[in-house]
Amino acid sequence: MHIGELAEKTGLSLRTIRHYDEVGLLKPTGRTDGGFRLYTQGDFSRLMLIRRMKPLGFPLDEMTDLLRVIDTLSDSDTMVDPAVRRELDNFITEAVKRRAKLQEQLAMADEFLTLLRER
């Protein structure tokens, strides 16, 4: 699929997807003869994973690290290096902490709305 279709399917802007290409987070699988980016279903899935990291506040370098871990786990036909598994576990622990913080912020926002509605 072309970048416009990918943007539409993911809800991300063309600019964001191009930026991810520039920083190496999501490289297109191919290019047309005219140089247009081409993306696969696998690229779509990867971009959706990136999109789901964004609300948790992971910076681009941490996203890159997590994608490397996921790629390593996906490419491994044999026993996974325990260090890679620990890295994934660390990301999971961090994501749980960040989710809890978001949940607290959402609760505060709900309290705020309640206060406003009571006026």
- How much is the pTM? 0.84
Arithmetic mean of pLDDT over the chain = 95
Helices (H), the chain: 3-10, 14-22, 41-53, 60-75, 82-117
pLDDT of amino acid 75: 83
- The domains of the chain, with CATH numbers, are 1-56 (1.10.1660.10), 57-119 (no CATH)
Q: Is the pLDDT of residue 77 over 80?
A: no
Place 74 in a pLDDT band, splitting at 50, 70 and 90: confident
pLDDT bracket for residue 79 (50, 70, 90): confident
The pLDDT tens digits for 21-48 are 999 999 999 999 999 999 999 999 999 9
| Backbone CA torsion sign across 65, 87, 70, 80 | positive
